[in-house]
Amino acid sequence: MIAKYRLLALDMDGTLLNDEQQITPKTVEWIKKAMDAGVHVCLSTGRTSRGAMPYVEQLGLDTPMIMVNGSEVWRTPDELYRRSLMDVALVKKMHEIAEEYGTWFWACSVDGVYNRENWDGDIEGREWLKFGYSTEDPDIRHKLLMQLQDLGGLEITNSSPSNLEINPLGINKASGIREVCKLLGLEMSQVVAVGDSLNDLAAIQQSGFGVAMGNAQEVVKQEADAVVATNNNDGIAEVIQKYILAEVEARAGRASEK
């Protein structure tokens, strides 16, 4: 019996991974059960492919992947399908804003991640995928947000309440999932998307079934179809057990009654 939901798109930090940056044995077990039932399991993360790869290998995934909040879509873990680069002029401006406020920043390029500590100033010599700021000061964060919105051409989200993450306008996890669906011959209605932060919001809103983790930001919970346990309490296992495989069993039961 084929599952109603054929693609499970998983955020990593705060969702698939617990606070020790591990996938628990119970979560691994239920992901394997989903895969055995014919469900495609896809990582949908703000991380680079390099940062995600150990977990891809741990789970034995060979499905498409969404990396860097959608700036990269991989056909398989070894084959890049599409890459969306940031305007170099915008990266320059975002770096200037970081210097103006003296705030922590990082920037993902194709060749690596650069931040305040290893910044070498070579903006034009690299291909950029994402820019980010982190500050515990809500006033500075608000001022950063206002300046970024004024720049235009940017997709602004976060991966925690204390940061801002910036991708090219229109590039997010939802746009990445749409491309993965095309690669797999699926519809968005067949997707379960799970996450905890604003960079998961579009995916949760636009997928067939959107799930917020128990530790998710409040706005994400409000927009989700369901809220499950936290990342430290096997929330992903709950998603699979309750909303994916229970549906398979129910449909099998109905089929046997006919």
Does the pLDDT at position 231 exceed 90?
yes
pLDDT over 70 percentage in the chain: 95
User: Domains of the chain (ranges plus CATH)?
Assistant: 7-83+172-257 (3.40.50.1000), 88-168 (3.30.1240.10)
Distance, CA of 59 to CA of 53 (rounded, Å): 10
Q: Which of 194, 148, 186 is nearest to 167 (CA)?
A: 148
Task: Give the pLDDT confidence of 114-135 residue by residue, as tens digits.
Answer: 999 999 999 999 999 999 999 9
pLDDT at 25: 97
pLDDT at 258: 60
Does the pLDDT at position 1 exceed 60?
no
Does the pLDDT at position 2 exceed 80?
no
pLDDT at 129: 98
Distance, CA of 107 to CA of 119 (rounded, Å): 9
- Beta-strand relationship, 65-67 and 72-76: antiparallel
Active site amino acids: 11
pLDDT band with cut points at 50, 70 and 90 for residue 158:
very high
Q: Could you count the other beta carbons within 10 Å of the beta carbon of residue 18? A: 18
Does the pLDDT at position 195 exceed 90?
yes
What's the average model confidence in pLDDT over 242-256? 73
pLDDT at 246: 86
Across the chain, mean pLDDT equals 95
Does the pLDDT at position 240 exceed 70?
yes
What's the average model confidence in pLDDT over 159-179? 97
